Structure 1
Amino acid sequence: MTATPAPTVTATLPSAGTSRRRGRRPGRAGVSGATRRQQARLGVLLVAPAVALMLVFLVFPVLNSVYYVFVDFDGLDTTPPWVGLGNLTELAQDSQMWAAARNNLIWIVVGTIGPLVLGLGLALLLWGVRRGSTFYRVVFFLPYVLPQVAVGVVWGWIYAPTRGWLNRGLEAVGLDGLTRGWLGDPSTALYAVLGTAVWTATGFVFVIILSALRNVDNQQVEAATLDGAGYLQRLRHVVLPQIMPVFLMVTALTLIGGFAVFDIIFVMTGGGPANATEVLGTYAYSNAFQLSRISYGTTLALVVTALAVPVAVWLDRLQRRASIEERGA
């Protein structure tokens, strides 16, 4: 019989290169940790100026405003007397404040729905237009980028009772009975200023929604058309769900603008006539800077903030949910 040779066991020793690579691992981890610490310090240095600006121009003024709510500060007294909840109590009993809040509510509803409906309608109308698209966008967007002071002055001329273009146009078509002093009549002043604001904001809504419509999946629209869906059905079930995140974003911006409206009213009417166009912003300004009631004006301003922030947060959550649903679809 032939003897079977015993199996040879070969021990594989780590090469010098392997040893060196293994030996470098702890050092490499140490370098990575040091790099992370350096990056963290660099990040803090880069963020520090922005944080400092936010603390100086946002956090501190807000905290200072909260302090003014509980004192009676007239702008001059260095040690204003403590009144506790006196400003809030007066605010709750102030009939003029409630009238201004009602005007704010009208402004929020009309000033939000008007631009959204008009802007969406214009965007859908010009969705398929390629030739001259840039011209239309510039023309409709221009009122939004104009200074509000200039817009208010020009529309004040348009609403002028005797030489205004609006009354002259009504007279030219035989509607003399509708002519009036639009900004001087308490029954029409608020809606006249609202018309100016809607005209200004519609272009912004139009440009944003038109850009969103350009990203709509046309294959889904064509498939819905082949399935027999009408125009309104395609708009509701195919187009709007795809642009809903953008639509909610525009809604949030327009709605928040309704809470903080001030400049266009201040320029065109100053809150008159007979406080017919007074909103919380103009009422806070008149108390703080015309009547030297800084504390009460600050209280009114904080009320506007307290009303606007929850609405903004709610719309932001809706927008995020719509974005997630769109990506999931």
Structure 2
Amino acid sequence: MTAIPVRRPPRLPRTLIGWLFLAPAIALIGVFTITPFAQAILLSFQSWDGVSPDTPWVGLANYDFVASDPIFWASMRNVLFFGVVGFVAGNGAALGMALAVNSVTRGRTFFRTVFYLPGVLSVVVVGLLFSFILAPGSGVLNRLLGLVGLGTLQQNWLGEPAVALPVVAAVFVWFHWGFGFLLFLAGLQDVPQELYEAAELDGATRWSKFRYVTWPQLAPVTSIVSLLTLLAALQIFGTVQVLTNGGPGHHTMVPTLAIYNEAFVNWRYGSAAAMSVIFGGALVLLSVLQLAITRRRSRV
């Protein structure tokens, strides 16, 4: 007797299987990201107060209003400052702490927990905490300055235009460095020890080992942390709202807060949508640029 061949069901192409796994994520992105953004683009050409059922078409009137709005463009300048501080100081602090914790043999778990702890707190808690610390006169910081003989430096940290923006940026760095710290620490622990041993045999100094071994091995992690930190800094909202609400005199205003005020305080949803389209487009371009730079560095 001859055996009857068993027919196996045809296998799906590997590419199709991959798209099937990605389908739920693509659907969520489409519903909660692409669709709202498309609706915001449509609304940016209309006028709506948030209540009336009528949304008359106004063309480019909202964009003309935004183009001449000094508060929005001041917020764009401020958020660039947040982006630079978050990118440089935030990543520098996270990398420095990761290097310090990675070099110790005892208490690594304790330091890892303590350094990541600020990121667990909510934005409101952080805002209220630093409002108490930075309060004029009776604040903890001003009292400490008085105790060490620096009473002349006491001031209204959140109420003076010259210092309010750097102070809020410092609070942002303290609040967000924990995530980057953990990623850098994980990257450091994945660096092969054989590379360090070979560098020591060649007589490399501590700086040489960091420059030629640690830093190249951390390149993928650095790219991810840099992109996430930069986007978080550019989208800052809660920290500014709780600490200063954009003041004094809009010196700490950021685009997200300006869009919020335009929509939910001034009830001008059309111009708020135009602001969000401009700001969102800038974020997309920045992300594409960052990813292009990352891919180019990985090929070198």
Maintained 8 Å contact 1:249/1:315: no
- What amino acid is the match of 1:160? A
Matched with 1:101 is: 76
Match of 1:269 among 240, 244, 253: 244
Find out whether 1:120 has 2:95 as its counterpart: yes
Tell me which of the two structures has the higher relative contact order, counting C-alpha pairs closer than 8 angstroms and 6 or more residues apart. 2
Aligned-pair CA distance for 1:315: 2.6
Find out whether 1:150 has 2:125 as its counterpart: yes
Find out whether 1:203 has 2:182 as its counterpart: no
- What amino acid is the match of 1:102? R
Maintained 8 Å contact 1:91/1:97: yes
Aligned-pair CA distance for 1:99: 1.0
Q: 1:49 to 1:226 in 2, by over 3 A?
A: closer
Provide Cα deviations, 1:82-127, integer angstroms capped at 9, x if missing partner. 1111111222222222211110110100122111111111111222
Match of 1:194 among 169, 173, 179: 169
Matched with 1:32 is: 9
Provide Cα deviations, 1:258-281, integer angstroms capped at 9, x if missing partner. 121111101111101111110111
Q: 1:289 to 1:122 in 2, by over 3 A?
A: same
Match of 1:62 among 25, 31, 37: 37
Q: 1:321 to 1:145 in 2, by over 3 A?
A: farther
Find out whether 1:164 has 2:164 as its counterpart: no
Aligned residues: 297
Match of 1:85 among 47, 60, 82: 60
Question: When the two structures are superposed, what TM-score results if normalisation uses the length of structure 1?
Answer: 0.83
Partners in 2 of 1:48 and 1:213 — Cα distance?
Answer: 34
- The aligned runs of 1:200-239 (5 Å cut-off) are 200-239=175-214
- What amino acid is the match of 1:115? G
Aligned-pair CA distance for 1:233: 2.0
Aligned-pair CA distance for 1:146: 0.8
Aligned-pair CA distance for 1:230: 2.3
**What are the ranges of 5 or more consecutive residues in structure 1 without an aligned counterpart?**
1-15
Partners in 2 of 1:104 and 1:257 — Cα distance?
Answer: 10
Aligned-pair CA distance for 1:323: 5.7
Matched with 1:280 is: 255
**What are the ranges of 5 or more consecutive residues in structure 2 without an aligned counterpart?**
none
Find out whether 1:252 has 2:213 as its counterpart: no
Partners in 2 of 1:243 and 1:49 — Cα distance?
Answer: 32
Let me know the Cα RMSD of the aligned residues.
2.3
Partners in 2 of 1:190 and 1:62 — Cα distance?
Answer: 30
Maintained 8 Å contact 2:101/2:112: no
- What amino acid is the match of 1:256? L
Q: Secondary structure at the match of 2:34?
A: helix
